[in-house]
Amino acid sequence: AQGDQMKLLLDTNVLIHREAGRVVRADIGTVFRWMDRLRYEKCVHPASIGEIRKHKDPNVVRAFEAKLQSYSLLRTLAQDTAGISALRQNDKTENDRIDTGLLAELAGKRVDAILTEDRGIHSKAARLGLSARVFTI
């Protein structure tokens, strides 16, 4: 409905690029400026926060913790759709499970789109028919 804020779920690596201090992708600042201009709600999955807190560089962790309040944390998790349950059957690593968890939020219509550079998420989204709502920087 009109007036509702678009919810954009940010993948862990996008958050790390944004908060790391060393610019990996110069265009990420532009993307974030557009999100702010368009008043998109920048959402973070609890699993992403867990991943960042385990990051090997303590400076990345500190920078992220300091900026955490500028993101909306998803406080609950989406129920798995049949498609998400099917994807979970093939998840072998913790990273696979987190990727599927991010897609569960999109499949459950709790977020409007995902911003990620992760090819695995893009290929899983294609299998679910959600590619049109998964973007790269």
What would the pLDDT profile of 29-67 be if each residue is shown by its tens digit? 888 899 999 999 999 999 999 998 998 989 888 888 888
Query: Per the structure block, which two tokens stand in for 107?
Result: 């499949």
Distance CA 120, CA 37 (A): 29
Does residue 16 contact residue 59 with C-beta atoms inside 8 Å? no
pLDDT higher at 101 or 20:
101
Q: Which strands make up the sheet holding 113-115, listed edge to edge?
A: 72-73, 41-44, 7-10, 113-115, 134-135
pTM of the predicted model as reported, rounded to 2 decimal places: 0.89
Distance CA 127, CA 55 (A): 30
Return the pLDDT at 28.
Answer: 82
